[in-house]
Structure formats: C-alpha cells, structure tokens
Structure 1
Amino acid sequence: MATTGTSTGILPPEHWATQKPAYDKDATDCDSVDESTASLTSSIYKYRTIHGRTYHAERGDAQYWASNDQRQGESLDINHHCCTLALGGKLHMAPLSKDIKNALDVGTGTGIWAIDFADQYTKATVTGTDITPIQPTFVPPNVKFEIEDCNTEWTFACNHFDFVHMRWMIGSIVDWDKLFVRAYAHIKPGGWLETYEMSAIIESDNGTVSDESALGQWGKIFIEGGRKLGVSFEVVQNDLQRKAMKAAGFVDIQVKDIKMPIGGWPKNKDLKEQGLFARAVLEQDPEGYILFMTGTLGWSREQVLTYVARIHKEVRSGKHHAYYRQRVVWGQKPGVSGS
C-alpha cells in the first residue's frame, strides 16, 4: 500500500522532489489570424504556458489537460496507430455503409483519424472539431476542421450525420449524458455513434506494477486532479459510455474491451507490437500528459521531472508487465436513414 494519508493512495509530491510549485500562468499569443480570411477569433490562438509547454486557454467549459504543442501532437499520432492496431487495423467498429455522406470526429486533435477516415470514405464529407486549431492545412478535399466545444450546444443541423466518432475525450467532458444527447440530436435516424475511451489507471496481472511505482501512481494523479477540475478520469471504470449512450436513446449498443500492454513484454506477436507502440506513445511525451494534472496538485517543476524520469526508467526496464484498459462502445439511432 502507498505510504500516504490520502484516500486515493496517491503519493505526496515531495516523494518525487522537494521544491515549491513555480508555474508560469501567463497566456501567450502563439499565432496570429488574418481577419479578412479567417472566421476564428484571435482568442482561439491564445494559449497558456506551463513550464514552456502550451495548453488550451481555459474559456468556460473548454479545457483540456494535455499539451497542444508539436511534441504532444507527435505522441497523439503514434497513439492513433496504436488504437488502430487494437481494432485489428480498423478505424471504427460501427457497421457503416460505404456510401455515407457526413461524418463528425469530435475532439479531432491533430486530425489524423479524420484524414484517414476521409481517405477510406471518399464520398463522405468528414468534419473534425476541437477546441484548439492544431490540425494540418493540407488535407483531403472531403475533410474540414472547425473549432467547437462539444460541452456546449453544437452548431450543426439536426439529423445531419451518418456517423459521429469520438476518441480519448476522457477528462474533458463535463457531462457525458448531455454530450450523447447532443450527438443523438445531430445523428440521422439509422446513424451511428462510436466512443473510444481509455482508463488512466496503469495496472498489471502479476503484481509487477505496484501502488508505489511511478506507473502505479499515474492513474491516481489523473483521478485526483480530475476531481479538482470537476471532470472524470474513471469513464471506463464507471461504464459512462454505455450508460450515457443508452440514456440518450441509442439502440443495438455493443462494447469491445481492450487491454493495451505498455512495452514489448507480451508473448503474443500482435500484442507485443501494440505494446511497443503504446510504450512509444508514453515515452514520446510523458511530461505533456502529466504536467497540467500535477500542477493542479501543487507539484513543482523538479518534482515533475523526477517523476517523469521514473516513468522512463520503469517503462524501459521491461520488468513491469503494465497495461491499461480501453473500451469502445457503439450504438445506433433508431429509425431508417434518409441518405
């Protein structure tokens, strides 16, 4: 058991180092917009900076805990490949028609899923939305990106999309029930919603990930930080996807559970490949994932760096048979599509 007095089992920050918090909370204008050609307001490009890493500036409910800079984007792109491997090379599990007309990728991030989907469904118009404009400019002709906060009312027409996809929205959704009610309203009768989420908790089946290890503390940090922010990092554990989808009115709901290894320890060839990519995701930018959350808990820069070094050491050692859980849930809006 962790040697801490908290109910969550999270180790105190001084376990990693002993310096006081020193965060730069000033927002920086990282880009400029030509008002004659862009419909976005300049405030969209105002990011906050934490120890040299940029994050989406908090405006209303629009916030995200991971960095939005290039280093984090590269990690997200690796993760896209990792998630695709976990689905057997597929981009989705919902049984879609080849001639769908409109698809929406909520929380599109770097836009890589939307671009790949558009390449596969060339007759469809694919829209990717996010709160931060980090998507590429040169994309397939059937892809477009828009700035939108999914926690507020959506700006699309009702009964418009054949497919709404969202992935790794954990820690950014204020109310999962409201989110899926909005999705339901904007999906055509007969259309599909798919949600792909992960657990923040890193575990093992053979005891090689202890509560006191850096890997064992990872999920506890996110869960406790999420509570302070008013968002949940226990989406998979609490079955929020399926419950919210059912409450919104979707039918034929199906679930796929995945255990994603971290590292090359699995004997199975496919799982080993997934594990190596999952390790690459984490090693690419552990700081970009953890920095904001540790900031909510009062960690200093030195404490974060010490913890990140421990993460690298444990992941590279090969001694920890670590994995985290993922869950894909998809369901259909009742009725017959008119498309």
Structure 2
Amino acid sequence: MSESPPHKAMRRSRTHQSPQDSLQRDGYSNSSNRNNNDDEDQQMDNIAATMDLAETISLTESIRGHVEEAGLRYHAYHAGKYPFPNDVVEQDRDDLIHHVLETICGSVYFAPVENMLRADGGRALDIGTGTGAWCLATRCPVADLFPQATFVGSDLSPIQPETVPPNVQFVIDDFEHEDGWADDPETYDYIHARRVLITVYDVATLMKHAFDHLKPGGWIELQEFTNTIECDDSSYTEETTYRVRDFMQLLGQGLAAIGTDIHASNNIEQHLTAAGFTNITRQQFKVPVGRWPEDEVKSSCGEMHRESMHDGLVGLARKPLRALNWTNLQTEMLLVEVRQHLNDSSFHVYMVFNVICAQKPYA
C-alpha cells in the first residue's frame, strides 16, 4: 500500500465511527439507555481524539525526523531515497553553492516568467528545494522579486526555515512518488529544479509530471552541473593524475549502481521533447574549482566552490561508493588524495553548469 504524501496526510481528517453508530450496530437503541451511556459516549469520543492525536504526532515524527548513520544524518521520510545527507554541513554547502551560482550566472532564474508571476494567481514550484535558498536567499530571493506569486518548495527533508514570507510555503514530499504531486493538473506557471536530476530514478516520468502540472504556456527550468572536470589550458589533461576527476567518475558509477544518472542533464532535451515541451534552450556557465582565476570575483567563487566540494566529500561518497562495495576505510583513503588535489590551485579546472528551459505549449 503506497504511503500518502505527508502534507496531504496531515491535512486529511479521519472519519471515525461515532459511538452511537457503534451502539446501533451492536443492537442498542438510540432512545434507550441514553442517560446511562452518556458517560460512555464521552469516553469513547475522548479515546478517538487521543488516537487521532497520537497518529498525528507519529506522522509528524516520521516526516520531521532524521536517520543517523555513522556520523551522517539523512531524511526519514521515504528513508534511503535520497543518497546524500541533510545535516548542517550539507545545508551550509547548499547555501554556499547557491551564492556561487547566483554570482557566476548573474541570475537565479532564466525562463521568461516575469509576466506570469506578476499576474494574479501566479504560482511557482521548486522541486528538491533543500534549504529553500532559491526562494529565500537574502541577496536575490525570487519570492521577494514576485510578491504577488505563490512559491511552493518541495523536498524530502524538513530543513527549511520555519519563518517564511506569506507567499512561500514548504511541503515535505517525494516528487517521484505516485502521490507526490498533490496539486491539480495545470496548477503552476513555473517549475524550477536545481541540482536534482542526479538523484532522480525516472527522469522521463518526472518530466511528464512537470508537464501535466504546468499551465499552458508555463515553463520548466532545470539547473544542473554536467559533473565532469574541464580545463581550457595545459594544467590538466585526461592523462593528468587528478583524484577529483577519479572521484567524480566513481561517484557516477556508484549512483548508477543505486539507480540514478550523474549525467542525466546531458540528454534532458529528449525527455523534455517526449513529455511535450517546446522552445527548449540550454545555456552553459563555467564554474571554477579553486582560486586559480585571475578575475577576483571568479576566484572568490572558485574558492567557495572548492570549499563546498571539500566539505561535502564524505557525505557525497558514503552511499554511492558503498553501492560499489567500498568500505568506509577505502573511501577515506581515496578522499585524502581528493582533498589534496582540491587544494592544489595549479589545476585550472572548472565544471559546466547548465540552465535548460522549456515551455508547455498553449494549445
């Protein structure tokens, strides 16, 4: 039996059999023994209310709880679905990379959705919202750019702020689950997903769900790293010993063993087309790894990118490499060398960040 999405389940009211219905079922008359049974009815009402409260508390704990595993913390709802941690280290990384990408790309969105989100009833969905940085980041929060619109952030992990603007709401849900799209079809003007595809098990179905839940003329925007190491000079070649590249390749193999594709963004256009989208575009940005760029802004972004990778190595590696039958000791021995190469600015390397936009036709 499938598990209901928590934000729907918590809103759903259970229908309990009333004490009178129960008595009638057992052969008692509503008119007889009424006075004698008033106390019993009240007791049964109290029991039912207590059961409801206990069920709600249990549900809340299952959603908002976490799973601790060998020093790392993971989401509890649909536990194991997302292979990376959701602890403070990972949350800090999420916020840091948001700042890097906003600076390098010059914007937090690229789809032409301004008119839609400024109109009455404009709605946007951020799937895999994480900390909610895309909606709420202090420098350029989209929720502030479009105060008339409603922004919904969906994630498996309850790691979003509790205090949010009135036009922002967060739900704990699994967008790959059969009931994970709680809203009616054609609800949203804009669907956004960033650094999500490498953890998606069925990209084609996800694109179809997105298509169905966009209004005619609405846009989807996918922002994803290519997840390969690139270089434009001779400081790094394919023959160079560079453990960061080796780690990325192993990470891809581990994710494949789990059932996802680290390079899912490479051929996303075919899934978008198959789902029915048109006007598909792709923009690419070079995100440096390390301080090597001469440009001060790019150098600063490169250092933050390096830091985010460095701090996340253990969490990124743990489950994917375990899927390749690596022990924690073997993994840590590799990561020692990965850290050394991450800290070496003589490698002028970068990663490509892709912004793919597509539109649902009006007709």
- So what's the TM-score if we normalise by structure 1? 0.81
Q: Tell me, in whole angstroms, the C-alpha distance in 2 between the residues paired with 1:106 and 1:135.
A: 13
CA deviation profile, 1:301-321 (whole Å, cap 9, x unmatched): 333333333222212221212
Alignment partner, residue 261 of structure 1: 288
- Structure 1 portions without partners, runs of 5+: 1-32
Alignment partner, residue 122 of structure 1: 147
SS at match of 1:171: helix
SS at match of 2:343: helix
Q: Tell me, in whole angstroms, the C-alpha distance in 2 between the residues paired with 1:262 and 1:40.
A: 42
Q: Tell me, in whole angstroms, the C-alpha distance in 2 between the residues paired with 1:36 and 1:157.
A: 27
1:42 corresponds to which of 27, 41, 61: 61
Q: Does the aligned pair in 2 maintain the 1:202–1:218 contact within 8 Å?
A: no
CA deviation profile, 1:19-42 (whole Å, cap 9, x unmatched): xxxxxxxxxxxxxx9868779543
Structure-2 change in CA distance of 1:222 and 1:251 (3 Å): same
- Kindly, what percent of the aligned residue pairs are identical? 30
Give the deviation of 1:192 after TM superposition: 0.8
More helix, by proportion: 2
Alignment partner, residue 225 of structure 1: 254
Q: Does the aligned pair in 2 maintain the 1:198–1:235 contact within 8 Å?
A: no
Alignment partner, residue 108 of structure 1: 129
Give the deviation of 1:226 after TM superposition: 1.4
2:326 corresponds to 1:299: yes
2:75 corresponds to which of 56, 63, 69: 56
AA matched with 1:92:
Y
Give the deviation of 1:277 after TM superposition: 2.1
Structure-2 change in CA distance of 1:296 and 1:290 (3 Å): same
Q: Does the aligned pair in 2 maintain the 1:87–1:93 contact within 8 Å?
A: no
AA matched with 1:208:
Y
2:97 corresponds to 1:79: yes
Q: Tell me, in whole angstroms, the C-alpha distance in 1 between the residues paired with 2:241 and 2:67.
A: 32
Q: Tell me, in whole angstroms, the C-alpha distance in 2 between the residues paired with 1:318 and 1:248.
A: 43
2:236 corresponds to 1:208: yes
Structure-2 change in CA distance of 1:176 and 1:251 (3 Å): same
Alignment partner, residue 267 of structure 2: 239
Q: Does the aligned pair in 2 maintain the 1:106–1:150 contact within 8 Å?
A: yes
CA deviation profile, 1:259-298 (whole Å, cap 9, x unmatched): 2110111234443233122112113332122222222222
- So what's the TM-score if we normalise by structure 2? 0.76
Give the deviation of 1:145 after TM superposition: 0.5
- Structure 2 portions without partners, runs of 5+: 1-9, 11-52
Give the deviation of 1:253 after TM superposition: 1.1
Q: Does the aligned pair in 1 maintain the 2:155–2:172 contact within 8 Å?
A: yes
CA deviation profile, 1:222-262 (whole Å, cap 9, x unmatched): 211112111111123x322x221111111111110122110
Q: Tell me, in whole angstroms, the C-alpha distance in 2 between the residues paired with 1:102 and 1:327.
A: 24
AA matched with 2:220:
L
Structure-2 change in CA distance of 1:244 and 1:211 (3 Å): farther
Q: Does the aligned pair in 1 maintain the 2:63–2:77 contact within 8 Å?
A: no
Q: Does the aligned pair in 1 maintain the 2:123–2:150 contact within 8 Å?
A: yes
AA matched with 2:111:
A
RMSD (Å) for aligned C-alpha atoms? 2.4
Alignment partner, residue 32 of structure 2: none
2:188 corresponds to 1:161: yes
